[in-house]
Chains A and B, each alone.
Chain A
């Protein structure tokens, strides 16, 4: 089975940094995805990690530690448009994704 935990809500100020943690306990692991979902819209792909370490992509970075079952998504220089839900998802290598409940990030001016 899959158990994926992430905080429900986070609030930060424009221009700040926010770190969204995700811990997982899964029967199989072949990588971890982060998706962004604005209210009323489809989730869109942000990042994929399969090896330990940090992947940087512009203002967003994602980190993975396989031994600890832990990942985080780091959002830097927050902008109002970053207000959204961020979904952590794990794949076991069988095409399927198991999702956490999502973290709603609110960016305040």
Chain B
């Protein structure tokens, strides 16, 4: 079974702090994704990565950056957390064999910025 894990289920940070969210997958997937999920807005793509050291902006990249130094790990960084970044953050991965492969999701990190 594919397993996607995220470093924390719940996180509370203060405005202005630098925040790291970590995601690890164990299925040797090429593609990894970071989403945020807000009520009434659904899942919105922040960043994604096709391969190690590669990254592409999604629909809402402002205020975020990412890092992919190893194939199994994809990190989301909030350089200076703000209250409007309070949200549920979901990581996902998929195989790069074909473009329509299903994405497998982690359990999510609920981030609160005070």
Question: Which residues of A line the B interface, CB within 8 A?
Answer: 8, 30-31, 33, 40-45, 48, 50, 87, 89, 91, 93-102
Contact = CB atoms under 8 A, between A and B. Distances in A.
Contacts of B43: 43, 87, 89, 97, 99
Contacts of A93: 99-100
A41 B83 CA distance: 23
A101 B58 contact: no
B106 A42 contact: yes
Interface in B33-85: 33, 35, 40-45, 48, 50, 58
A95 B95 CA distance: 9
Interface of B: 4, 31, 33, 35, 40-45, 48, 50, 58, 90, 94, 96, 99-108
A33 B99 contact: no
Contacts, number: 56
B64 to A, nearest CB: 16
Nearest to B107: A42
Given A42-B90, A42-B108, A43-B90, A97 B103 contact: yes
Nearest to A6: B42
Residue among A41, A99, A100 having the largest count of chain B Cβ atoms under 10 Å: A99
Given A30-B100, A87-B42, A101-B40, 11 more contacts: A42-B4, A42-B106, A42-B107, A42-B108, A43-B105, A50-B100, A94-B99, A95-B48, A95-B96, A96-B45, A100-B42
Contacts of B101: 95
Nearest to A4: B42
